[in-house]
Amino acid sequence: MTQDLLSKAEEFENRSLSHMSTSDRVEASREAKKLILSINEIYKKTKDSKLMETMKSLTEKKRKIEKRLKGKPLV
């Protein structure tokens, strides 16, 4: 199960962010959240540093997606 999650996370990290529609970005953000929470459940039991690094990189990519979704602030 851990290997399956890590392979899905790696595939997600290697996915291109360019030329995504808004609905694709929302879907990608939700997928990232789901992956992060699933990996976190395993991390709580094993305390494996590799899992933590994977969660950090997924979170960083998720933040980039959400930043693009929210757009520039109107002043």
State which residues form the domain around 47.
Answer: 2-70
pLDDT digits (tens, 9 = 90+) for 27-56: 989 999 999 999 999 999 988 888 899 999
**Residue 74 pLDDT greater than 70, yes or no:** no
In a domain, 36, yes or no: yes
In a domain, 7, yes or no: yes
Question: Any long-range contacts for 53-57 (C-beta under 8 Å, 24+ apart)?
Answer: 54/6, 54/9, 57/13
**What is residue 19's predicted lDDT score, i.e. its pLDDT?**
86
Percentage with pLDDT > 90 across the chain: 28
In a domain, 75, yes or no: no
In a domain, 35, yes or no: yes
In a domain, 52, yes or no: yes
Q: What is the pTM of this model?
A: 0.80
In a domain, 38, yes or no: yes
Q: Which residue has the higher pLDDT, 33 or 18?
A: 33
DSSP letter, residue 30: H
In a domain, 23, yes or no: yes
Q: How many domains does the chain have?
A: 1
